[in-house]
Amino acid sequence: MKKTYSLFAFLIFAFVVNATDKTWNFSVDGTVVQDNSADPLASPYVWNQLELAPNFRVSASEKIDPRLEIEGGYGTYGYRLRLNGFATVPTPPTIPTSNYFAFNVDGNATITLFSVNQGGSPIVVRFVNSSGLQIGTLTGTVLSSDVDTTEMLSFNYVGPATKITAYSTYASTAVYMGIYAIEVRPYTPPTGIQENLSALALKKVGNQLINNEGELIEIYTVMGAKVLASAQTSIDISNLAPGVYIAKTATGSMKFVK
């Protein structure tokens, strides 16, 4: 039985500065981007304003752009950035010094990875700001070995100019996500998020959101950035940075504090 609560709303502040377009396509440039996995550099490698960890690896592996039939698609990818995990995964606000990529944004942005999950279980890529605070995550889908296309993963960042660092939270240095291209596009956030507790069957217990109805839950910061999505009946929120969040479903939404 769904519970009924009072209805109220609150508005969030929307930044007016949006990020400029940026694209890094390893398919085209993979042969010219230096591979530093075997002989790491002393400092990060910068390619067209994209910072790559001193130990990064770019390797050849052909996959198809999922937008192949859409005008402006990249066609077939040829090279990918291998984003490996860690023996000990960094915990925010720690920013890793290996196995990462980073770039600057000057405002609100939609960040998209064209990638292939290479692990036997989903690989989660964490995005943090210049202070090391988590601003979003992207989770790869485990695909069968005969799938020959990449996956589009994206989230919206809402906030001021910052350096964004991305790294895998997979607890193994041998398992990686293959990233064929990275896109940053301007994003205009909605003017507000409504908190509607009417007919919502959801509650927070410790570091878990109890979702008895098994609805798709999308979790946003109060600035409008989506940081998590799940339809599990018990959703772990322990990896979220401390702060205020909105859990949104098809039937309502709820504000909670982590």
What distance in Å separates the CA atoms of residue 52 and residue 43, rounded to the nearest whole number? Answer: 9
Q: What's the pLDDT at 10?
A: 33
Residue whose entry in the numeric block shows the structure tokens 């390797």: 59
Q: What's the pLDDT at 11?
A: 31
Q: What's the pLDDT at 17?
A: 53
Q: What's the pLDDT at 8?
A: 29
How would CATH label the architecture of 22-186? Sandwich (2.60)
Q: Quick check: 169 and 81 in contact, CB under 8 A?
A: no
pLDDT in 10s for each residue of the chain, 258 residues:
333 332 223 333 333 455 578 999 998 888 888 888 888 888 999 999 999 999 999 999 888 888 775 555 567 888 999 999 999 999 999 999 999 999 999 988 999 999 999 878 899 999 999 999 999 999 998 876 667 888 889 988 888 899 999 999 999 999 999 999 999 999 877 654 455 555 567 888 888 888 888 888 888 886 677 888 888 888 999 888 877 788 887 777 788 877
Q: Quick check: 52 and 29 in contact, CB under 8 A?
A: no
Q: Which residues contact 71 (CB under 8 A, 6 or more apart)?
A: none
The H or E element spanning position 153 is strand 151-157
Cis peptide before 93 (omega within 30 of 0): yes
Q: What's the pLDDT at 76?
A: 85
What distance in Å separates the CA atoms of residue 116 and residue 82, rounded to the nearest whole number? Answer: 10
C-beta contacts of 226-235 below 8 A and 24+ residues apart:
226/136, 226/155, 226/156, 227/134, 227/135, 227/136, 227/137, 227/155, 228/137, 234/208, 234/209, 234/210, 235/208, 235/209, 235/211
For Cα atoms 221, 51, 136, give the angle at the middle one, nearest 5 degrees: 15
Q: What's the pLDDT at 232?
A: 87
Count of C-beta atoms within a 10 Å radius of residue 19: 21
Query: Domain locations in the chain?
Result: 10-14+190-257, 22-186
140 class by beta-carbon count within 10 Å (0-12 exposed, 13-18 middle, 19+ buried): buried
Q: What's the pLDDT at 224?
A: 74
Q: Quick check: 165 and 177 in contact, CB under 8 A?
A: no
